[in-house]
Amino acid sequence: MPCLPLLPNYPVTDFIPRNSINILCGPPYSGKDKLLQTAIRNYTDHGEWLGSTAPLFPEMDDPLPMTARVGAISATGLPLPATIPQVQWKDFHRKNDERPMTIERLFELFAEPRPQLLVVDGFQKLMPGGKINDYCEVAHWGSYLHGWCRSQDVTMIGTAPASKTREEDGGYAPHDRVLGSVGWAQLAYTLWLIDLVDRRNNEEAARSTQRLLITLTHGPHPTTWVYYDLDSNDWLVPSLTSPHACDAAWREGLAEMVAANSQNPLRTSQIVELAATLGISKPTVERWLHDMWDEGRILRIRKGMYSWLDKPKETC
């Protein structure tokens, strides 16, 4: 679908007001760069950004979406289409210049016409002073950035790390996951949190193809939870099903397996094979088994061998 240039006084999308600051955060290995690939491709091609839509050109019989010019700032470059202009920090040189590297100065390196929708990867690193945990410092810099965005007609989407979860305490609320002060969540009009479904923040968990994207806004929009999968081209795309459906099928299959082997212990390999037929990763199954063992639902006879104390269908 062709898109038209964004007219003045129109929002970027219904979730992204003109000249606003927005944040995409996620823990290590969660795939923020892959999600940006998907979002930018869909926005420039179809006027869609992670569930929100661009405004339509007025007074047309068959109206087309209007999209802003997109550009990106990052340390070493993002895997984006060649049509998206990028500025890398390594291109910034301080020859005979003592002024600090800032978003404003990096923005000046773009050729005219400069971007209207600016993606800044790791934008907390460009905060003067670097005190990302200081509420007042974050609030002051955020106020300055809002003014700068209005003066340049720029709408910003910054990426940031997400803090670790504390699952034993129920985990942090999504708006508290941005690394640093709570002021970051207040600064962002829209906050996207991409997270691993298997939330053990390690390379094994990252091998899972499934992610959860939570969207929160300060506007009149409900919080949404959307599952994403890596497709064959390594793009994150919305999933057709929730993992909970797989969980239910796994529990039912596990109960049938236990009933069929009631006189014999089960091996981990048998359980992993069952899970593989349902698209559930081995690390996820191993974590479930460990939790069930801690809760006294199963008895570990020896490594890789289990005896069941409860019926899995009822108690998993």
Instruction: Provide the 3-class DSSP secondary structure of residue 65.
Output: strand
State what percent of residues in the chain have pLDDT above 70: 78
The highest-confidence range among 28-32, 159-163, 174-178, 260-264, by mean pLDDT, is: 159-163
Query: Which domains occur in the chain, in start order?
Result: 4-238 (3.40.50.300), 243-315 (1.10.10.10)
pLDDT digits (tens, 9 = 90+) for 286-299: 767 776 777 777 78
β-bridge pairing 155-161 and 190-196 = unpaired
- Whole-number pLDDT of residue 315: 40
- The contacts of residue 36 (CB under 8 Å, 6+ apart) are 24, 78, 80, 119, 121, 159
167 has pLDDT over 90: no
* 234 or 101: which leads in pLDDT: 101
- Whole-number pLDDT of residue 280: 61
Is the backbone peptide bond immediately before 85 cis, with ω within 30 degrees of 0?
A: no
β-bridge pairing 266-267 and 305-308 = antiparallel
Cα–Cα–Cα angle for 14, 179, 138, rounded to 5 degrees = 75
Is 210 buried (19+), middle (13-18) or exposed (0-12) by CB count in 10 A? buried
- The pTM (predicted TM-score) of the whole model is 0.72
Longest Cα separation, the chain:
80
pLDDT digits (tens, 9 = 90+) for 8-51: 999 999 999 999 999 999 988 788 888 998 899 999 998 999 98
- Whole-number pLDDT of residue 54: 94
The highest-confidence range among 43-47, 231-235, 260-264, by mean pLDDT, is: 43-47
- Whole-number pLDDT of residue 284: 62
166 has pLDDT over 70: no
66 has pLDDT over 90: yes
- Whole-number pLDDT of residue 1: 54
Reported as a pLDDT band with limits 50, 70 and 90, residue 316 is very low
- Whole-number pLDDT of residue 226: 79
Q: What mean pLDDT is predicted for residues 238-263? A: 67
Q: What mean pLDDT is predicted for residues 65-81? A: 93
Q: What mean pLDDT is predicted for residues 298-315? A: 70
